[in-house]
Amino acid sequence: MTKITKKMLILLIFFLFLFSGNNLLAAPNLSNALTNAQTAGTQAGYLEKDFFDVFIAIINTVVGLLGIVFIALMIYGGYLWMIARGNEETVEKSKKLITAAVIGLIIVVSAYAISYFVVDNIGDATLRNSSAPTGSGSGYEAGNSQNT
């Protein structure tokens, strides 16, 4: 087959699929796929995020990025130490860099622990307060009517 014949055959097959009755581009069920996906996600509980879930996700992302920075600094410090070739200034520079990276990791991990503890306790406290009865102290409590 010549190149022109192959190209004509490919174009013919393309147009057959394009103008056939089973065209995927014109399928009526795909027009509202995003709406159906959002409805299914909401009913499954995946799209219902509160402030604390979003805040924890942001903190986890930042800590992950700082972990990548820590690994990069450790690799760079080790690389400097390996190529120092006995140069004491370069060895001291790489030791300081590695020490600073480890201290930074300790600070990040302790900040993560503190923020997780605080956010977790605030979330628990607000959930407990929102489900507490709203009585006025006069013997009437929510859901408990006293008809005498």
pLDDT at 126 over 90: no
Is residue 101 in a domain? Answer: yes
- Amino acid residing at 36: N
Its domain, for residue 119, covers 51-127
Q: How far is CA 27 from CA 15, 23, 39, 41, 59, in A?
A: 17, 7, 20, 23, 42
User: In this predicted structure, what is the pLDDT of residue 7?
Assistant: 77
Is residue 45 in a domain? Answer: no
Q: Percentage of residues in the chain with pLDDT exceeding 70?
A: 68
Is residue 59 in a domain? Answer: yes
pLDDT at 129 over 90: no
Is residue 74 in a domain? Answer: yes
Is residue 81 in a domain? Answer: yes
Is residue 108 in a domain? Answer: yes
Q: Is the pTM of this model over 0.85?
A: no
Is residue 39 in a domain? Answer: no
For 139-148, write each residue's pLDDT tens digit.
Answer: 444 445 455 4
**CA–CA distance, 84 with 93 (Å, rounded to integer):** 10
Number of domains observed in the structure of the chain: 1
Is residue 122 in a domain? Answer: yes
Single out the residue of 101, 122, 120, 124 nearest to residue 112, CA to CA: 120
**CA–CA distance, 80 with 61 (Å, rounded to integer):** 29
